Amino acid sequence: MDTGMSSESAPLVFRPMREEDIAGVMEIERQSFPFPWPESAYRHEIRYGTDSLFYVLELPPEPSLAPWWVRLLRRRGPTRPPVIGYVGMRLLPGEAHITTIAIHPQWRGRGLGKYILLKAIERAARYHARWITLEVRASNQVAQRLYTEVGFRFTGVQRGYYRDGEDAWLMRLGPLDRAEMERLEKIRQETEARIGIGDL
Ligand SMILES: CC(C)(COP(=O)(O)OP(=O)(O)OC[C@H]1O[C@@H](n2cnc3c(N)ncnc32)[C@H](O)[C@@H]1OP(=O)(O)O)[C@@H](O)C(=O)NCCC(=O)NCCS
């Protein structure tokens, strides 16, 4: 389990997805995608996905130790979402393909999407992925910006890829050599500093 922590905050938890997370994941999924995956897809990935990696991001367990903005949002929000984001990847030879990534709408715009993307890339590199690939809707400028900022490059278009006929942009990051991993590590540290969780 990976935890982000600074002297003044309890950790945000980035850890493998478990079956008990699925309800929280589905709450985010339904608010994030026009054609949400069914619960069974997540259950299948968790139970049988030997070639896939799925992670969730959880709030710090102890509110009084959480960063100030976590405490503020908790006070404002009606309920505390148990899971505030997730990311999934399929491992292929020399490559990890990002199949899903989302942050709870209430928690967007604070660097958490960039954080889980960078954590997922680190994990994929440990599994010897040299390239990270993904598809993103042609209209999804927020996600495209996120990927471009992290260093993904546009590699092509798949016409009519999505169920409603929208095109997919194909994007790729890599090769994940030493210099590239150091560059990504620096962005992760900057992102953690912005979120307020400091070094691991
Ligand atoms: C895409 C998503 C995961 C980003 O999560 P997030 O936590 O809001 O993103 P972050 O706060 O880490 O922002 C990372 C970058 O994304 C871009 N971004 C985030 N919110 C944005 C907005 N409202 N407008 C434009 N760009 C935005 C920026 O480039 C930002 O970097 P910056 O803050 O340094 O400028 C989130 O918007 C989401 O869950 N969307 C719905 C699901 C989805 O579209 N998934 C992608 C499928 S391919």
- Report the C-alpha gap between 98 and 35 in whole angstroms: 17
For 163-183, the pLDDT digits (tens) are 999 999 999 999 999 999 999
CATH of residue 177: 3.40.630.30
Can you read off the two tokens belonging to residue 177?
A: 């050599």
Q: Which residues line ligand 1 (CB under 6 A)?
A: 32, 101-103, 108-114, 136, 140, 142-143, 145-146, 149
pTM comes to: 0.89
Atom of ligand 1 nearest to the CA of 145: 29
Residue 191 belongs to some domain of the structure:
yes
Provide the pLDDT confidence category of residue 61 given band limits of 50, 70 and 90: low
Secondary structure of residue 100 in the 3-state scheme:
strand
CA 142 to ligand 1 centroid distance, Å: 5
Residue 128 belongs to some domain of the structure:
yes
- Report the C-alpha gap between 104 and 27 in whole angstroms: 8
CB under 8 Å to 109, separation ≥6 — which residues? none
Q: Can you give the residue range of the structural domain that contains 12?
A: 2-195
- Helices 141-150 and 112-126: crossing angle, nearest 10°? 50
CA 177 to ligand 1 centroid distance, Å: 26
Residue 55 belongs to some domain of the structure:
yes
**How far from the centroid of its chain's Cα atoms is residue 195's Cα?**
15
Residue 200 belongs to some domain of the structure:
no
Structural domain count, the chain: 1
If one residue of 57, 142, 149, 194 were mutated to test the ligand 1 pocket, choosing by the most ligand atoms within 8 A of its CB, it would be: 142
Secondary structure of residue 81 in the 3-state scheme:
coil
CB under 8 Å to 144, separation ≥6 — which residues? 136, 169, 171
Residue 146 belongs to some domain of the structure:
yes
For 118-137, the pLDDT digits (tens) are 999 999 999 999 999 999 99
- Report the C-alpha gap between 157 and 99 in whole angstroms: 17
If one residue of 55, 146, 173 were mutated to test the ligand 1 pocket, choosing by the most ligand atoms within 8 A of its CB, it would be: 146
